[in-house]
Structure 1
Amino acid sequence: SAEGTVQENKWVDWIRQDSGINVEFYPVPRWEVTETLNPAFAAGVAPDVINDYSRDNMALFHSQGVLAPLDDWIEQYAPRLKAYLDDNPALEPFLRFGDDNRLYAVTNMRPLHSIANHQIWIRKDWLDNLGLEIPSTEEEFFAVADAFVNDDPNQSGENDTFAFADGHPYTPIVRALYAGGGHNRKWLVDDDGNVMYARTAEQTLDYLRFHKMAQDRGWVDPELITDPNFERQVRLWVTDRAGIYFGQVGPPQFDDLKANVPHADIVPMLSFETAHGRHGLFQEPPTQRYIALNAEIENPQLALEYLEWHLFEGWFTLQFGFEGEHHEIDQATGLPQYLIFGQERTDRLNYNVEYRLLHQFELPPGWFAHLAPEDDPHEQERARLQEQALQTQLSVPYRRDMPYRPSMRELLAFYDEFDPVFDDIFDQVVRGDETPEWGYEQTLSEWSRLGGPRMEEIVQEWYDLEAPGWGDWRLDLEGMLAEFLGE
């Protein structure tokens, strides 16, 4: 940022001044957490406070003995943090590690809009051009995809359209639609409490069939495999050449799409029903960042006071900036209203959220419309679509049968051996070298050959031991959504 470095900038200065703690920051690339911190732990120079979005990474650090148990310290030094965790019991199973089931991390509840993640968007005007409705079943979805390829939905008079554009989560979305079929490192649990690795579940066959069909029928751009940054996929979407976008819950590439195709009418699409039921797209767990303390920390009281400052005092300014400079308070609603927009907000404000370790932001009713200028129809339409997408995405639960994944070292080593084999099988099926039926049978064969049944026994034993202590870890998304809608 033009305002300084990661270690020294105006927000770091403000944090030190307002919290009264002379904090120093240890920069860690988000995708290189273990690669960066493992050597630091080994050398005795790791930071006192460690934060990451991955529970798997925290489980790894716990297994190495480099994290401190927090139960007693929170009881002694952080009464407000303890009360917050007690008031949000859905967080607890995610924060306890090991056979002794002690607390090794803290976190805050995710706000509603950051729980919703993946979303399918569809061109409603293309459907109208062809006299079609938004599909709600697998059969209807396939028919729409065929029509988007073959029936000139953009009315260009050319054979120039694809059904799909991939904004990155195409494969994860298809996995979710098929109840986790084909998902790596995901375990399913049946009604009798029996675990099964998702890639060996029967719905994996339909997951393979979907991908094979998408290639054979021309639904997906054949150049997708050579488009790792999805730049061509974005161009297809914003230039009126793709009608279904596999993306995030925000309106995809909205500015460029409306600039190039002003008449484009996009809507968020509800998950379609398959033979395996109707399953929602990826939704984040209730936890946000995981905050842990180094086992070698010398002053845990100061560290916990710092975390309480974030959760109860500092978070609002770190999210919305300074009143009068970055935002003002709307007198009618009491909500913050940004004063800076676009690139200016990116340069001057957005990066400061990375310093916000804990927060208590809850999505208030009408939030998206509140942020959009009343005299800007484009931004008002974006706000309407954001709210519509949030309702659509959260109305169908994502299949998550466990609050978190097992992470035993033997199991992780097995993944490293089995998952590349599955990926190769998948590629052979999608290329047309083999059938989906062969792919599924080969998956089961390789699973047995590489020791999968033994892994299933290990995970079953782990599940039987862990599950009774999880309590009610599922969120009441229906109630949270109703509250946001003011119902």
Structure 2
Amino acid sequence: MKYVGKSTFALVMAMLLSMLLLSACGSTGTAGDEPGGSAATPEQAGDGPKQEISISMFDRGKVPTEEGTYENNRWTKWINENSPVTVNWVPVTRSQAQAKLNALIAAGEAPDLIWEYDRNYISQLANQGAIQPIGDYIEKYSTTYKAYLEKHPELEPYLKFNGEVYAVSFVRETLANHGMWIRQDWLDKLGLKAPTTVEELIDVARKFKEGDPDGNGQADTVPIAMSNSANAIDQALFFTSENQWYIEDGKMQFGRIVDRHADTLAFQKQLFDEGLIDREYITDTNFQRSAQLLTTGKAGIYFGNWDIEELNGNLVKNDPNAKLVPLESVSSKYGKDGLYQEAPPSIFTAFNSQMKEEEIKASIEFIDWMLEDGWVPVRYGEENVHYTMVDGVRQKTDPEKFQKEVAYASEYAIVMDNVLKPEMFPAMAAKDEVSQSYAKEKGKSLEIAMKNKYRRDIAYNPDFPELSQLIATFSPIAQQIEAKVITGGGSMSPADGLNELRKEWKRLGGENVDKLAQEWYEANKDNLK
């Protein structure tokens, strides 16, 4: 046995003591302090230090101060304690997400996994070489997700770009996205019926503005608030979308330059000129102002999502007599379109082209873990703390606790296996009167959002490089033209605005893109139904 001198022995003991102290300092509480009651460290879940990966996510400003930040909170800790990897989350502001991600990519600082709802954006990244094909890696390293894809073959066409799989996704909880809501108590007070046509919608908005429905004696009502800017109106009323292609007489046409788009602009201009929408709605990119108008009782019609539980809760706190109910899409001279409904895939998660195979392997293992074990806690919270199982569904135990501690975390679940049905909501909601009342309206909202078929002429848009480059340049120019039409008084008519849009489209190479889009459609139309 080798002799150890006193000085060496003292040094060894000091090192051991330091390690013990560091270990103690590293503990933030008991096992019960974090979701799941686990106090495991990243190293304890495996044979050594875990592989680190980074993942983007949307910063929606929803994390309460006492919960921490999007990078560091109870759920990021829980994920790192329980998953096979250590995740570093990279928040990007929702309204500027693509611009921020593009900047990170250009600087060589993009996260390993990049996700977006917009398939076109993932296509752009694939065409730029910023992300890499992953089909072979899924086949090689995945078990759970590979089996999930076999169960959901409808996802496969959406995950392929240039003939190869570039992303993972999952089937949405529901295809509903947009929703329209109206103050039933205001309708009742003014003796009005819910509108069913564009003309009736305008008439109700006028009466909301002029009739002092909140009874405060002031002309301060802004009838319509919108969280999705003009998109909900475009798509639900005039069969147009700024990011969608349509088949007109067998020809591919981009939604922002079809004839109907002039009617969309005219409608928005009328609402703006008559003061029926907030005059700052175009610059309300984070939708905070529209939310404030609704929840403080200044707006009576809301264009946004089909599920607005938090907004409804805040409104009822401010006015216990307020009653928001879902509104079916109204008809225009073109007929009645469904409120915007999504294609089957939810978010698209792509892999940075700079990732090495061991990082890809670890990321796929994380996806398998999230799909099998991880998504329920970050979506619903901890059992018997945030929810209890009732009749096979997860019922919230305390809405305020859930809103504070869980609601911000659902997007950590980059894959999940969950389907929502209207009849589930009353069982899922807490038993207090406000929660149960909204749960019933939420079920109705989902039914109404899916009642009328949404016009989607092709399953997904073309994704060739020339189109991606054109859209990236055209979109900000189009936004400026449209803002001038809507807010500029008599400076530009809707018809002139459409002509300007078409000129810019052509100037930027639109004729060639139209030709390529038509060729793409003819080659792929059997797969686009």
* TM-score, normalisation: structure 2: 0.76
What is the rounded CA distance, in whole Å, between the counterparts of 1:142 and 1:5 in structure 2?
42
What is the rounded CA distance, in whole Å, between the counterparts of 1:427 and 1:325 in structure 2?
48
Kindly state the Cα deviation for residue 210 of structure 1 after the two structures are TM-superposed: 0.5
Residue 103 (1) aligns with residue 161 (2): no
1:23 to 68, 75, 86: 86
What is the rounded CA distance, in whole Å, between the counterparts of 1:4 and 1:429 in structure 2?
43
Larger Rg: 2
What is the rounded CA distance, in whole Å, between the counterparts of 1:2 and 1:158 in structure 2?
38
Secondary structure, aligned partner of 2:203 = helix
Quote the residue 2:6 is aligned against: none
Could you report, residue by residue, the CA deviation over 1:389-445 in whole angstroms, capped at 9, with x for unpaired residues? 111111123333333333434333333444444334323332222332333344344
Residue 35 (1) aligns with residue 95 (2): no
Could you report, residue by residue, the CA deviation over 1:239-288 in whole angstroms, capped at 9, with x for unpaired residues? 44432122222347323432443333322111111122211222233212
Secondary structure, aligned partner of 1:222 = coil
Q: How does 1:89-168 map to 2 (within 5 A)?
A: 89-98=153-162, 101-112=163-174, 115-154=175-214, 158-166=218-226, 168=227
Quote the residue 1:72 is aligned against: 136
What is the rounded CA distance, in whole Å, between the counterparts of 1:188 and 1:382 in structure 2?
36
The residue type equivalent to 1:55 in the other structure is: R
The residue type equivalent to 2:466 in the other structure is: E
Residue 423 (1) aligns with residue 479 (2): yes
1:370 to 427, 438, 450: 427
2:230 to 171, 196, 200: 171
Kindly state the Cα deviation for residue 142 of structure 1 after the two structures are TM-superposed: 2.5
Quote the residue 1:481 is aligned against: none
Quote the residue 2:257 is aligned against: 200
Q: Assess, with a 3 A threshold, how the Cα gap between structure 1 residues 129 and 450 changes in structure 2: closer, same or farther.
A: same
The residue type equivalent to 1:131 in the other structure is: G
Could you report, residue by residue, the CA deviation over 1:351-403 in whole angstroms, capped at 9, with x for unpaired residues? 543432321122256332123332x2111111112111111111123333333
What is the rounded CA distance, in whole Å, between the counterparts of 2:91 and 2:322 in structure 1?
41
Kindly state the Cα deviation for residue 95 of structure 1 after the two structures are TM-superposed: 0.3
Kindly state the Cα deviation for residue 111 of structure 1 after the two structures are TM-superposed: 0.6
Kindly state the Cα deviation for residue 457 of structure 1 after the two structures are TM-superposed: 0.9
Q: How does 1:123-272 map to 2 (within 5 A)?
A: 123-154=183-214, 158-166=218-226, 168-181=227-240, 183-190=241-248, 192=250, 194-224=251-281, 232-251=289-308, 253-272=311-330
What is the rounded CA distance, in whole Å, between the counterparts of 1:163 and 1:5 in structure 2?
35
What is the rounded CA distance, in whole Å, between the counterparts of 1:10 and 1:265 in structure 2?
34
What is the rounded CA distance, in whole Å, between the counterparts of 1:437 and 1:286 in structure 2?
35
Secondary structure, aligned partner of 2:168 = coil
Residue 405 (1) aligns with residue 461 (2): yes
| Bigger RCO of structures 1 and 2 (CA < 8 A, at least 6 apart) | 1
Q: Percent identity among equivalent residues?
A: 32
What is the rounded CA distance, in whole Å, between the counterparts of 1:263 and 1:28 in structure 2?
38
Which segment is superposed worse, 377-386 or 153-162? 153-162
Superposed CA RMSD in Å reads 3.2
Q: Assess, with a 3 A threshold, how the Cα gap between structure 1 residues 444 and 22 changes in structure 2: closer, same or farther.
A: closer
Quote the residue 1:462 is aligned against: 520
Kindly state the Cα deviation for residue 328 of structure 1 after the two structures are TM-superposed: 3.2
User: Are the counterparts in 2 of residues 177 and 274 from structure 1 also a CA contact under 8 Å?
Assistant: no
Could you report, residue by residue, the CA deviation over 1:51-109 in whole angstroms, capped at 9, with x for unpaired residues? 444433432332244544333333344344333212212211110011xx122222111
Kindly state the Cα deviation for residue 310 of structure 1 after the two structures are TM-superposed: 1.9
The residue type equivalent to 2:312 in the other structure is: F
User: Are the counterparts in 2 of residues 7 and 24 from structure 1 also a CA contact under 8 Å?
Assistant: no
Q: How does 1:342-361 map to 2 (within 5 A)?
A: 342=400, 344-346=401-403, 348-361=405-418
Kindly state the Cα deviation for residue 212 of structure 1 after the two structures are TM-superposed: 2.0
The residue type equivalent to 1:175 in the other structure is: D
User: Are the counterparts in 2 of residues 97 and 103 from structure 1 also a CA contact under 8 Å?
Assistant: yes
Quote the residue 1:484 is aligned against: none
User: Are the counterparts in 1 of residues 381 and 402 from structure 2 also a CA contact under 8 Å?
Assistant: no
* TM-score, normalisation: structure 1: 0.82
User: Are the counterparts in 2 of residues 251 and 385 from structure 1 also a CA contact under 8 Å?
Assistant: no
What is the rounded CA distance, in whole Å, between the counterparts of 1:40 and 1:107 in structure 2?
25
Secondary structure, aligned partner of 2:514 = helix
What is the rounded CA distance, in whole Å, between the counterparts of 2:378 and 2:496 in structure 1?
53
What is the rounded CA distance, in whole Å, between the counterparts of 1:235 and 1:347 in structure 2?
19
The residue type equivalent to 2:392 in the other structure is: G
1:273 to 331, 334, 341: 331
Q: For structure 2, which runs of at least 5 residues remain unmatched after alignment?
A: 1-64
Secondary structure, aligned partner of 1:292 = strand
Q: Assess, with a 3 A threshold, how the Cα gap between structure 1 residues 77 and 224 changes in structure 2: closer, same or farther.
A: closer
User: Are the counterparts in 1 of residues 144 and 371 from structure 2 also a CA contact under 8 Å?
Assistant: no
Q: Assess, with a 3 A threshold, how the Cα gap between structure 1 residues 338 and 462 changes in structure 2: closer, same or farther.
A: same
User: Are the counterparts in 2 of residues 6 and 25 from structure 1 also a CA contact under 8 Å?
Assistant: no
Count of aligned pairs: 455
User: Are the counterparts in 2 of residues 328 and 338 from structure 1 also a CA contact under 8 Å?
Assistant: yes
1:384 to 426, 440, 444: 440
